[in-house]
Amino acid sequence: MSRGPHPGDEANFEEAERAAYTAAAGAAGDVAEGALSVLRDPSADPSALTPASDRFWFLAAALRGFYEAHGGLLPLAGDLPDMTATTDLYVALQRLYRAKAAEDAAEVCERVGALAAAAGAPAAVVADEAYVREGCRNARFLRVLRFHDLEGEAALDGTTRG
């Protein structure tokens, strides 16, 4: 018995049923709290950027701008989930995903360049396209871990080094 409008689509319906739990885990546009904490970090505020700011913060500020401009969505990573499809349809969809990911990364790269110019930082240093593309691809996994240097740790626990 065919469940869909097109006979032979049973495999797609079965696949959708198997993956239905992912709908409860959040939409593709949901951003993990760790990534949101990076976007909200004061160092990712465009007004906080200086020529001495690490290129990571220029990327984070550009991603923040993208996120705000696109209704809470991060750039598309470009990974196409595995699915039942003909080779032609899968390859066509894969091309669309990759094209959209490249478009999103180009927009973020432009944002990084504009932020660098506004901060007086050399655009060539901060707007490394490969770095920005990789940052867009992994934006949903961003985290910032801050550590103290050894002197700072010693000061925190009350010991001194002699």
List pLDDT tens digits, range 65-92: 999 999 999 999 888 777 788 888 888 8
The residue behind tokens 């885990």 is 25
pLDDT band at residue 15 under the 50/70/90 scheme: low
How many residues does this entry show for the chain?
A: 162
Report the predicted TM-score, pTM, of the whole model to 2 decimal places: 0.74
82, 90 contact by CB (below 8 A): no
The residues, any chain, with a CB within 8 Å of residue 49's CB and separated by 6 or more, are 57, 58, 61, 115, 116, 118, 119, 121
Rounded Cα gap, residues 58 and 63, in angstroms: 9
